Amino acid sequence: MSDVPSSDSTTPDSDPIGSDETQLEEAGANPHSNRIAANSEYTSKDLQHLSDLEHVRERPGMYIGDTTGRGLHHLVYEVVDNSIDEAMAEFASAVTVTVHTDGSVTVEDDGRGIPVTRHDQLSEEMDREVTTLEGVMTVLKFGGKFQKGAYQTSGGLHGVGVTVVNFLSQWCEVEVSRDGWTWTQQYERGIPQGAVTKGRATKKKGTKTTFKADSEIFSTTKYSYDVLYKRLQELAFLNSGVRIRFLDERNGESGDFKYERGIIEFVEHLNRASDVLHSDVIHIEGERDGVEFEIALQYNTDYTETVQSYVNNIHTIEGGTHVSGFRSALTRTLNNYGRKEGLFKATTPSGDDFREGLTAVISTRVPHPQFEGQTKTKLGNNDVEGIVNGGVGEQLTKFMEENPKAAKAIVRKGLLAAEAREAARKAKDMLRKRKDVLGGGGLPGKLRDCISKKMEECEIYLVEGDSAGGSAEGGRMRNYQAILPLRGKIINAYKSREDKVLANEEVKSMIQAFGTGIGADQDLSKRRYNKIIVMTDADVDGSHIRTLLLCFFYRQMFQLVAGGHVYVAKPPLFRVSKGKERYYVQTEEEMKSQLLERGLADSTFEAEDGRRIEGEEMRKMCHTLAGIEDAIIAMERRGISLKAHALRLDPQTNRLPPLHLFVGVDDHWFHGVEQVDEYLNANNLVLDSEKEKPEPGEEPEAIDLTAEQEATGPSVNLIELHEVRTINTALKDLQQLGISIDDLIPQERTGSTAPRFELLRGEDTRRPLQDLRELLPQVRAAGEKGLAVTRFKGLGEMNAEELRETTLDPANRTLVQVNLSDAGAADEMFRLLMGDKVEPRREFIERHALDVKNLDV
C-alpha cells in the first residue's frame, strides 16, 4: 500500500469553485451554463501542432503516468528496461545503476550498444545526417521493438521510453561502446548539443546513459533508494544469471544482485519471514506457440495469498489471463488430488481456500502482449490462459504424485481454510443480526456519531484511547464527523484467522460502525461514511496502532482501501502565525519555499554596476539558484571549491569542466569526452576501467606491482562530476539575466566601501551581499520577518482547539489517502512487520534505523 496526499481545502457545505456568476461573466461565459464560451470564429489559427519534444514536455503524464515521485522513478525503469531487453535477448549479462550526489542517474550495460551509423530513413525525412543513436534519443515511435529481428520479447512496447526520458531531463548524455570505439552525444532538455562524436578505442561493448530529471517538470527530483532497490532486485530475480549492481552515492548504500535460480530464489525471498509447509519450491516451466511461462510456488503457514505476476518483466499488478490460467489449474489439480486420496469428508475447499498461505511468482514471455489500459497492469491475451492452465495442471499433478507428503500438507491447509471460512461465516451472520444500518441499531456504544445522514459527506475518525477521543470529540464538526475511540491495540489481522479477528471487540466496533460488512461479502454501497480516517499519535504506540489498523483494512476490508476510502491524518509540521492570523505548513521543503516566495514580494536585486533585477526575473533567478544549492555543496564536499573551479570556465561556452582525469599523481580537467579521448590517444594511455580484470569471484594471480606498472603504464582514472552538468545548465539560464559565475563567488575588494550587491525590500531596507550565494538565505530571512513559526511533534501535543484547526478542519488539514498501487509490495511489508519470524523484522529495523526523524518515544 502507498500513501497519496489528498487535497482537502473545502467543507462539504461550501459552494463549488467557479460558481460565482460575476467571475463567469467576466470570463466571457454564460453564467447559467457554467461553461467558458469558446471563440465563435473557429479558424486554422485556433489549431496548434506540437513537435514530439513539445508534446512530451507539455503532457508528460501521457507517457510516464504523472510528474510526482512515481513518474520520476519511471524514468529510471525505462532506461533499465532497455538494458534488460538486451539481457533477455542474451546479448548482455550485467547492468549497473548509479544515483549520483546531484540526483542524476547513470544506467550502463554490456550489451551490443545502440547503433551509431547513419539511419537512411530518418536522414531522408529530416533532410540531414541523422544517426540511429540520435533517432533513438530524439524521435518517438522509433526503436528496435517494432522489428521481430531485434527483440523476440521486450518490456517496452511503444518505442518511446528512452526518448521520453531524454525529453524530460535537464540534461542527458549517452556513451555507446561498439565496433572498438566509444561514441557520445549530449542533450539539454531533449535537444542535441552537437553531433555524435567518435572517441577513444575500447574493448568494451554496451550503452551508458546518464540523465538528470528536469525540476521544471517534476514536483520532486529525489529518488527513493528503497523503491529503486526493490525494482532492481525484482528484475534480477526475473532474469536468472543477469548481474544488476546498484549504487547510491548520496548515502553510500548499494546492492549487488545475481540469482542463478531466478524466481525460485524470489519465492524463497518472499517467504523469508514465514514458516513454510514444504521445504522445496515447486518449479514449473514450459513453452508453447512462442509463449514461455515459468512459475515458482511454495505454501507457508500464513493466512494470506501472495501472487506476483509478470509479463516480459512488467509487473502486472492487476493480474490477467496468465494469473487466471494458473489459479484455475491450481484449484482443479488440488481438488482432483484430494478426491483421489479421500481427503475430503464433509467439506470441499474452494479456490480461495487453496490459495491461503500460497506464495507464487508467475513470469511469462509473450511476443505480442496485449495489455488492458496504458498502465500495462493486466494481461489480456486469451491464448496465454490456456497455455498456462495446461502446463501448470500437467506439471503440478506430477509433483504431487512424486511428493505425497508435501501434497497432503497443501491439501490439508486448504481444508483448514475451508473450516475457518465456515466459522467466519457464522460470526458474520451474528454481526448482521446485531445491526440495523438504516435505523442505527447495533452501533457501538462508544461511537460519537455525526448528525448528517448523507453518506457522501460523512467521515469517521479512528482515535486511540478515550482521552484522545475526548479531544477529538471537543474539536470535531458534529454535523458530518464521527469519532470512534479504540482501546489498546487491535488484534494482528495478518497472523490470525478470520474467525479470530471477528471475535475481537474493537474489530466488531469498527465493522458495526462502517456498515459495509467484511471480507468477500463487503458491500461498499452500504457504507455509512465516505472517509475512514486513522488518527493516532506520532509516538511508538501510535505508529503500532496505525500499522495494525492498516493491516486489518488490507486483510479484511480490502475493497475500502481499493476504493480510496481509507485515509491517515497527517498533522502539519509547522504553525505560522502573524498577528491574529495563522496557518499550517506540512513539510520543511514547503516551509522554505513559502519563505522564499514571501521574501520575493517587493524585493529587488541591485548590483554595484547599476544592474537591477526585479519582478518575474527576480523570481526566476532565485528559483534557479535554489536548484543548484545542493549541486554546489556536493561539488565542494569533493574538495573542489566553486572559486577554484571557476578559473577553468570555458569563456566561449560559459561551462565548467565536468571531467576530472587522474594520471598517476597528475590530474587534468576536460569539458567533453572527446577531449579526454584525444588526450588518452595522444599519450598512449588506457583507462583502468578499460583494462582486463578478473571475473567477479575469481582470485587474481599474485603479481609484481612495479612490473605491472611498467608494462601497463600509470594508473588512469576518469571521474565525472555530474553535479557540474547541473550547475552548467543553471549558468546558461542565469546568463540570460546578465548573471555570471563570478557573481556567485566572493571577491577581494580594495578601495571601495560600497557593497557589491544589495537586496532591496521596499524603499527603506537594504541588505548587503558579498555574492549571489548569500541571496537565498537573505530572501528567506526577509520572508520570515514578522512571522512566528512553531514546529509540532505530533497529535499528542495538541489540545482540542489545535486538533480541530490542524487535523479536523477540512480547510486546513492534510489527509493521506491509502491506496493499493502494489498489493505484492504491501503483502511483503506486512509479512515482514507483522509475521512470526523475528530475524527479518530485526534486519528491516537495523537497515532503516538511521532514517527515522522526529521520533516521539
Catalytic residue among 318, 541, 614, 617: 541
Maximum distance among all alpha carbons in the chain?
103
Per DSSP bridges, beta strands 191-192 and 603-607 are unpaired
Q: Which residue has the cell 555574492?
A: 771
**Angstrom distance (rounded) from CA 310 to CA 293:** 10
**Angstrom distance (rounded) from CA 53 to CA 779:** 35
608 is catalytic: no
- Kindly tell me the burial class for residue 535, based on how many C-beta atoms sit within 10 Å of its own C-beta (0-12, 13-18, 19 or more): buried
Q: Among 824, 828, 806, which Cα is nearest to 815's?
A: 806
Sheet strands side by side (includes 716-720): 666-670, 659-663, 716-720
Which three-class secondary structure state does DSSP give residue 145?
helix
User: CB count, 10 Å around CB of 570?
Assistant: 19
856 is catalytic: no
Q: Which residue has the cell 486420496?
A: 341
User: Do 383 and 290 contact (CB within 8 A), yes or no?
Assistant: no
Sheet strands side by side (includes 291-299): 282-288, 291-299, 358-365, 306-311, 314-315
How big is the CA angle at 659 (ends 656 and 662), to the nearest 5 degrees?
Answer: 130
**Angstrom distance (rounded) from CA 152 to CA 86:** 11
- Per-residue burial over 308-332, b if 16 or more Cβ lie within 10 Å, else e, is bbbbbbbbbbbbbbbbebbbbbbbb
Catalytic residue among 85, 506, 537, 827: 537
20 is catalytic: no
C-alpha cell at 238: 526475473
Per DSSP bridges, beta strands 306-311 and 358-365 are parallel
Cα-Cα-Cα-Cα torsion 142, 145, 147, 148, nearest 10 degrees, comes to 180
User: Do 400 and 414 contact (CB within 8 A), yes or no?
Assistant: no
Catalytic residue among 464, 506, 743, 805: 464
**Angstrom distance (rounded) from CA 636 to CA 642:** 7
Catalytic residue among 179, 352, 539, 678: 539
541 is catalytic: yes
Which residues are identified as catalytic? 464, 537, 539, 541
